Amino acid sequence: MRAKKIYWWLVFSLSALPSLYFGLIYFLNPRQLGIDPVEVLLAESGQWAFRFLLITLLCSPLRRLKLRFLSRYRRMLGLFSFYYASLHAVIYVVAWIELDWPIFIQDLVSRPFIYVGMFAWLVLLVLAATSPKAVVRALKKRWVILHRLIYVAALAVMVHLWMQTRGAIGEVLLYGCVLFLLLAERLYRAVPLLNHQSVGKSANN
């Protein structure tokens, strides 16, 4: 029991570390972040949200390979994805546009990727709100169906990132390849299952 608590705190601390690291640098010595520290914080928070989303999606394939460690903390990892996505939104609203709502409206017109990002955040909000065990028990099978929206969120974040890329296409391609492999693995499992069911029905007929 004690070992489980230690592992829990270890995963939690490592997951929170990027935000603590960049937060401390920003408040103590922002020059270390470059010419525009806010832009760096905005980019890093968004990328960490996507990274945790991909890690969360990776939990199930690893569990099927009998590597169960990460799957024990899947809910925590998913919540950290929402945490970094929310941090990304707060940095944009408070530090980037400084609560200037006319600028926000202008950004909505000139930067359509913001719509995609807002949609992804809303999906993550729904997933985070339905993550408590009590909600899981209440929703039962509907919870499983609802939480397949994580793939929708991942695709939306991928599009959001791609639309705002300014030449750093390599990182986008890397994330895209990882997401493609995760989706392909799920489809690979689904198709044989459907074929097996159709064969079974034919045999019964």
For the chain, 205 residues long, give each residue's pLDDT as a single digit of tens: 677 888 999 999 999 999 999 999 999 988 899 899 999 999 999 999 999 999 999 998 898 888 888 889 999 999 999 999 999 999 999 999 999 999 999 988 888 899 999 999 999 999 999 998 888 888 888 888 888 899 999 999 999 988 887 656 777 888 889 999 998 888 888 775 555 544 444 444 3
Predicted local distance difference test score (pLDDT) of residue 145: 85
Spatial separation of the C-alpha atoms in residues 46 and 8, rounded to whole Å: 24
Residue 73 in contact with residue 11, Cβ under 8 Å? yes
Q: Which of 81, 97, 117 lies closest to 39 in space, CA to CA?
A: 97
Q: For residues 74 and 128, what is the distance between their CA atoms, to the nearest angstrom?
A: 12
Ramachandran assignment for 34, one of left (phi > 0), alpha (psi -120 to 50 degrees), beta (any other)? left
Closest CA to 154 of 123, 189, 185, 114: 123
Question: What is the sign, positive or negative, of the torsion defined by CA atoms of 15, 126, 154, 195?
Answer: positive
User: Tell me, what's the pLDDT at 167?
Assistant: 53
pLDDT at 166: 62
| Three-class DSSP category at 147 | coil
d(CA 118, CA 123): 9
Radius of gyration (Cα) for the chain, nearest Å? 20
Q: Helix, strand or coil for residue 65? A: coil
